[in-house]
Amino acid sequence: MKMNRVLIGVAAAIVSCATLVAPAVTATAHADSCPDVQVVFARGTGEPVGIGRVGDAFVDELRSRVPDKSVDVYAVNYPATRDFLRAADGANDASLFVQNIATTCPDTSIVLGGYSQGAAVIDALALAQTPTLGFTRPLPAGVADHVAAVAVFGNPSIRLLGGPLTTLSPAYGGKTIDLCNGADPVCSNGNDVAAHSLYVQSGMATQAAQFVADRLATTAPVTTLAGRTG
C-alpha cells in the first residue's frame, strides 16, 4: 500500500542527502493547561533531539504571526537515524500525543509538521488508515477535525507517491502546505543535494508559518471529536 512505499522508499530518497544540523531548543506541552495552538513537529535525519533547524525556524516565525495565541511545541520522539523504517516509531509517538491533545484539550488547534524523514512521519499520520509496516496507531477519523494545519518540508511522498499531501490525503490535504526546495532530490527528481539543507535560507519556513497563521485565523476550534471545522 502507499504508506509501505513511503516508509521503505524514504531510505533511498534521503540517504544521499547530508542534513546540516544545529542545536534545537524545544518547548513541551504544559501538563496543567491547554495552549491555543499545539505544534507537533518531527525533525530530519541526523538532527539532535528536538524539532531541528527547520522546526525551530518555522515555530519562531509562527509565534511572531500569532502574538495573541499561546503556542506549545512537542518534539516527536523517534531516532531520526539512517534506519529509516524507524520513522514508524515517530508516527506512533506522534499519533498518541495528537490523540491525547484532541481528547484533553479539544479547543486546542493542532499543527502537524515535519522535515525530511520527519515529513515521512507526518505522511504516515495523514495517509495510513490501517496499521502498516510498524505504524500501529493510525489516527481516528475525528482527530482530523482538531488539526488546523499541516506543514511539511522536503517530503519524500512528493517523489515516491507522485504528489504532495495536498492531493494525496482527503482528510488533511486541504489544510496542508507541502514544500519542496527547487531540485531537492528527496522531494523531486532533481539532483541539487544542497537544496535539501536550505529550507530556512530559502524562506520556506516563513512561507509555511504564514500559511499556518492564516489557517489559524480562519479555522474555528472544535469541542468534540465528532465536531467539524473548516
Catalytic residue among 56, 89, 93, 116: 116
Q: CB of 90 within 8 A of CB of 140?
A: no
Is 30 among the residues known to form the active site? no
Is 60 among the residues known to form the active site? no
Is 196 among the residues known to form the active site? yes
Cite the active site residues: 116, 184, 196
